[in-house]
Amino acid sequence: MLPPLGATKDDLDTPALCIDLDAMEANVRLAVETCRRHGVAWRPHAKCHKSPAIARKLVEAGAIGVTCAKLGEAEVFGEAGVRDLLIANLVVGPHKVRRLVELRRKADPIVCIDHIEQAEPIARAMAEAGLELRVIIEVDIGLNRVGVACGEPAVRLARQAAELPGLTLAGVMGYEGHLLTVPDPQEKARRIREALNRLVAMRGALEQAGLPCEIVSCGGTGAFFHSVTQPGITELQAGGLIFSDAFYRNVCQVPEFQFALTVLTTVVSRPAPDRAIIDAGRKTLNPELHKPLVAGRDDITVEQLSAEHGKLRLAPSAEDVRIGDRLELVPGYGDLTTVLHDRFYAFRAGRLEAVWPLEARGRLQ
């Protein structure tokens, strides 16, 4: 049974995924104000929250829409009334093309292409339905994941796509994800600048070829303050900043955003003076990119997570931790942790203000 609004964390069973609304809203304000100051639009990636309620809050706060990774997620956000949806991915196969046509009837999505073979079946289906879909050329700016090569190959693809009835060429995108963790700040800034210069140069190349390029999109939380100041970028996809986490703060070195997400846990065993076990393991917290932190307790560290047990190492000052005590953990990487949960419990000043299901969770198709 869900706790009533106004409940405290003591009223919650554990483990429970909690949002600190004041911290989240401060993060959102910082992102919106920084983007505004630099004349860049913000289309935050929804992969960290997968919640239409949060997406609507972000749009109310100034986001222009949502970025998502999957067509299934875009369907959920489209159903919830978000019209401007960037699916930052390739959409391939007849099932998905049919669904994309239906989504286009309700919303105004943008889909990535990096080869004309992705574009042709989508164009045919849109034209047959009397619809136009925006496509964006995804270029490889060094991530070596998807993306057509910058320069002439990208211009050629854009020209081919622009000639297809049923498609509208919206612009270009690239993701600087390979540079988020460069340890030296100056080298990081330089390499991001080089990569984004290549992306921005695509606008000039397309316009020179007589092609439109309204959107130049990039940006992750780990590069937020670099990409937002890059001349020529029109919109940013950074989304994880609404919660921040240990990976963004400690590895990407982005301390400006506050920790707004925690997992509330219970100590279930105290097998040794320096060891406590909590009811949260890998099925509750993903430790892949960074181990979780124990909020407000520098004297307690996460030593190991098995499936359903979390092993904590206690410094002498923490040896008074007892069975039944509650501890809050800041996720190592929020993105891969939130999707392990059914709902967010959103608190303000210690009182439950909202419960938000992750409705787009599991929408992997």
Ligand X SMILES: Cc1ncc(COP(=O)(O)O)c(C=O)c1O
Among 101-109, 237-245, 253-261, 321-329, the segment contacting ligand X (CB under 6 A): 237-245
Closer of 15 and 240 to ligand X (Cβ): 240
**Three-state DSSP state, 4:** coil
Site for ligand X, residues 21 to 60, rule: CB under 6 A: 45, 48
| Least distance between ligand X and beta carbon 28 (Å) | 13
Among 99-107, 124-132, 233-241, 339-347, the segment contacting ligand X (CB under 6 A): 233-241
Among 17-25, 70-78, 118-126, 231-239, the segment contacting ligand X (CB under 6 A): 231-239
Closer of 75 and 335 to ligand X (Cβ): 335
Q: Residues 317-356: x/- map of binding to ligand X (CB under 6 A)?
A: ------------------x---------------------
Q: What is the 3-state secondary structure (H, E, C) of 134-145?
A: EEEEEEECCCCC
| Least distance between ligand X and beta carbon 146 (Å) | 9
Token pair of 234, please?
Answer: 């029109």
The β-bridge relationship of strands 235-236 and 215-218 is: parallel
Closer of 335 and 359 to ligand X (Cβ): 335
Please tell me whether residue 228 binds ligand X under the rule CB under 6 A.
Answer: no
- Give yes or no for a contact between 301 and 312, defined as CB atoms under 8 angstroms apart: yes
∠72-26-300 over CA atoms, to 5°?
A: 90
- C-alpha 168/C-alpha 137 separation (Å) is 11
Closer of 52 and 240 to ligand X (Cβ): 240
**Three-state DSSP state, 204:** helix
Q: Bridge-partner residues for 136, per DSSP?
A: 112, 171
Selected from 153, 177, 212, 357, the binder of ligand X by CB under 6 A is 177
Selected from 14, 27, 34, 221, the binder of ligand X by CB under 6 A is 221
Please tell me whether residue 239 binds ligand X under the rule CB under 6 A.
Answer: yes
Please tell me whether residue 232 binds ligand X under the rule CB under 6 A.
Answer: no
Closer of 50 and 203 to ligand X (Cβ): 50
Distances in whole angstroms, Cα of residue 311 to Cα of each of 68, 261, 288, 359: 34, 20, 16, 31
**Three-state DSSP state, 259:** coil
| Least distance between ligand X and beta carbon 48 (Å) | 5
Token pair of 316, please?
Answer: 């002498």
Among 119-127, 203-211, 234-242, 285-293, the segment contacting ligand X (CB under 6 A): 234-242
Closest CA to 174 of 204, 151, 142, 203: 142
- C-alpha 68/C-alpha 85 separation (Å) is 7
Eight-state DSSP code of residue 45: B
Please tell me whether residue 118 binds ligand X under the rule CB under 6 A.
Answer: no
| Least distance between ligand X and beta carbon 312 (Å) | 27
**At 216, which helix (H) or strand (E)?**
strand 215-218
Site for ligand X, residues 284 to 303, rule: CB under 6 A: none
Cα 183–chain centre separation = 22
**Three-state DSSP state, 359:** coil
Residue type, 66: V
Closer of 143 and 354 to ligand X (Cβ): 143
| Least distance between ligand X and beta carbon 291 (Å) | 18
Give the residues lining the site for ligand X (CB under 6 A).
45, 48, 88, 175, 177, 220-221, 237-240, 335
